[in-house]
Amino acid sequence: MTRRPLHHPGHHPGQRPLQALTFDLDDTLWDNQGVMALTEDGHYAWLDESLAAWLAERGEHALGRFAERQPIEAYQRRRRELAERHPLRRGDFTWIREQALCALLEEFGLPRSAAWMWALAAMEHFHHLRLRVSPYPEVEPMLEDLRSRYRLASITNGNLAFHRLELSRHFEVSIAAGEMHAPKPDPRCFLMTLAKLGTTPERAMHIGDSWQEDILPAVRLGMQAAWIAGDTPHGEAMPAGVHRLSHIRELPALLERLGRA
Ligand SMILES: [Mg+2]
């Protein structure tokens, strides 16, 4: 056993070893941009086509095409309005999308029950597309190894059905912060995660790509943080407890360095 020096960068004097790691998902464990764009366009196009076929089967031709009368921009505008009108639910993207779709479908001319049926079907397709994320190749073996030494949790503001992904089996706790109406940077989603893991902020590290939503709130709570900064230009020195990485694959080496400190 080596004796821990009193002062080491990123390691506060008397600090006990890390017990838990909490991970952001989108743009931390995988690149999310392409999937999100395909999902956004894909589920709306699916709705337009499936609804047109369903109406044609019923000999209903008076309504025209849904996406012509309600272009995707109208859907996006409706979502922004809903988020403004319901600030508490602004991060509950599934709820916002369902409400927006239902309203647009009713305005298009469907009775309320059919509008709900199609809104929910479109969201089922959304979740199907949203799960086509490709974790970076290093992520699976890294989590497999880390879970034997740390308690692992995920905290996302996104609305993907993470439990349907194979990768989710590595996490004891998975928090959808938007659905609990406390999206990051709200500290409550971090505190709930730590409570569920049975640990305290000073014995946990959060890993994420967003300075505002991941790193700041974690550090304010007294957690350590690994900032997946990509090629964001170097600014001034990192605050105490924040470790800058350019990619998630660098995390094991960081943990090893801290463990030796
Ligand atoms: Mg992220």
Q: What's the CA-to-centroid distance between 58 and ligand 1, angstroms?
A: 44
Q: What's the CA-to-centroid distance between 109 and ligand 1, angstroms?
A: 38
For the segment 216-245, the average pLDDT, to the nearest whole number, is: 91
For residue 172, what are the contacts with CB-CB under 8 A and spacing of at least 6? 151, 152, 153, 196, 197
CATH superfamily of 20-31+134-260: HAD superfamily/HAD-like (3.40.50.1000)
- Examine the pLDDT at 261 and tell me if it is beyond 90: no
Sequence ranges of the domains in the chain:
20-31+134-260, 33-130
What topology is assigned to 33-130 in CATH?
Four Helix Bundle (Hemerythrin (Met), subunit A) (1.20.120)
State both tokens at 182.
Answer: 């406390």
Q: What is the pTM of this model?
A: 0.89
Residue 14 has a pLDDT of 55
Q: What's the CA-to-centroid distance between 63 and ligand 1, angstroms?
A: 40
Residue 5 has a pLDDT of 42
Q: What's the CA-to-centroid distance between 116 and ligand 1, angstroms?
A: 31
Q: What's the CA-to-centroid distance between 113 and ligand 1, angstroms?
A: 36
How far apart CA 227 and CA 28 sit, in angstroms, is 9
Residue 121, φ and ψ in degrees, nearest 5: -65, -40
